[in-house]
Homo-oligomer: A and B are copies of this chain.
Amino acid sequence: MPFVKPGTLKAVASRPGRRTTIRELAEYTGLSPAAVSYALRGMQVSAETERRVREAAEELGYEADPIARALAGGATAVVGLLVGSLADFWNQELVRAVQRELYGAARSTLVADADGEPARELELARGLLDHRVDGLVVVPIGPASGDWQSIAREVATVTIGDALPGVSAAGEVVFDHESGVRASLEHLSALGHRRITVLSWAVETSPDREAERAVGASAAALGVDIDLVACAYSLNGSRPLALELLRSDERPTAVLCLSDSIAYGVYAACAELGLSIPGDVSVAGFGDHPISRLLAPPLTSTVWDIDRTAEVATSFLLQAIEADGPQATLRDVVEPVLVTRASTAPRPA
């Protein structure tokens, strides 16, 4: 609480050396520390006592120490946020949005960044647990595993984007990747593109992901040729790859990037090579970061509503934390909306 709620400041600032402890509060109210502890959490005590304790807490500016509370097994009001890559702009926005929601719920955020390496995910998650986070929000990039299951059993866990199959998380906000991919490929196909390169960060890390499977399925249905290529998750990561790709003899006429950040790298590469978008190559993104519409040219992309995603995920998490026991998995599917802008155009003759 103190981390985010008003009122703290004055109190803490006015302490001479150290903060008020529960024992002092107990002494002040003439109760035992145990009673105070219960009262503050609204358990076991009479209404009258609770009122008295709260009043005293107010007067003395008492705020429970999150660290002590954590050690004793209580809640910390800290939530862990584990993202696959902070270099990805969509994820950056997500962090902001989740942070904001959690601030509203009087909780702070321990952020961990797997930096594109799936192998780090579990390690980071464990680290978050070591810090006694009350809950975990994960944007997974790696495969599910038994370790995840055991983590999900230990702490309320909500996934965003892809679910962790076989893991009974407290909540899942999943993207309907399949329909997003299909819509994008249909769009490009309708523009006459027959050879499309799909750049995905997940090709190697979780190749059986829905999105990648959808690529194959849609391609078959549409009769287009697809090159599915693994690509780092960021502007700087995708630029070199895009350069190589666009320099090759068999340059595709269209590139679908499974993240806007990747598309930005393609833009940078095109600029370097003097290629025109969409004159020489059409580019589509995924996620629709707020900046994408401002690019030259504005990027065709698929909207995954960041604020709503964060809001739903947070609400799932808070519900799970309150419930404090295994519940049925809360689930929400985010439907994509394809926004066509000037970065995609009919295939050049």
One of A105-113, A159-167, A179-187 at the interface: A105-113
- A257 to chain B minimum Cβ distance, whole angstroms, is 13
Secondary structure class of chain A's binding surface, majority of residues: helix
Chain B CB within 10 Å, residue with most, of A103, A127, A128? A127
Number of A positions contacting B (CB below 8 A) = 58
Beta-carbon nearest neighbor of A72 in chain B: B71
Cα-based distance from A63 to B113 in the complex (angstroms): 21
* A207 close to B (CB within 8 Å): no
Known A100-B113, A132-B67, A271-B294: A127·B95 in contact at CB below 8 Å: no
Contact with B along A290-309 (1 / 0, CB 8 A): 11011111100000000000
**Smallest CB gap from A290: residue in B:** B235
Interface residues of A in 184-199 (CB under 8 A from B): none
* Residue picked from A65, A100, A291, most chain B C-beta under 10 Å: A291
CB distance from A84 to the nearest CB of B (A): 12
User: Within the assembled complex, what's the spacing in Å between the Cα atoms of A271 and B291?
Assistant: 13
Quick one: copies of this chain in the complex?
A: 2
* Complex CA distance for A245 and B86, rounded to whole angstroms: 34
Decide yes or no: A109 and B108 within 8 Å by CB, A3-B127, A295-B294 being known contacts: no
Which of A5-13, A26-34, A47-55 lies at the interface?
A5-13
A67 proximity list for chain B (CB < 8 A): 67, 70-71, 130-132
Please, what's the 1-or-0 string for A225-250, where 1 marks a CB less than 8 Å from any CB in chain B? 00000000001100000000000000
Query: Would A3 and B95 count as touching, CB distance under 8 A?
Result: no
> Which of A71, A123, A150 counts the most chain B CB atoms within 10 A?
A123
Q: Which residue of B lies closest to A342 (CB)?
A: B296
The distance from the CB of A6 to the nearest CB of chain B, in whole angstroms, is: 7
The distance in angstroms between the C-alpha atoms of A164 and B147, with both chains bound, is 45
In the assembled complex, the Cα of A70 lies from the Cα of B66 at a distance in Å of 11
| Chain B residues whose CB sits within 8 angstroms of the CB of A23 once the complex forms | none
Residue A143 CB within 8 A of the other chain: no
* B contact residues around A124 at 8 Å (CB): 3-4
A28, chain B: closest CB distance, angstroms = 21
Q: Which chain B positions have C-beta within 8 A of A326?
A: none
Closest Cβ–Cβ distance, residue A194 to chain B (whole Å): 27
Q: How far is the CA of A271 from the CA of B292 in the complex (A)?
A: 13
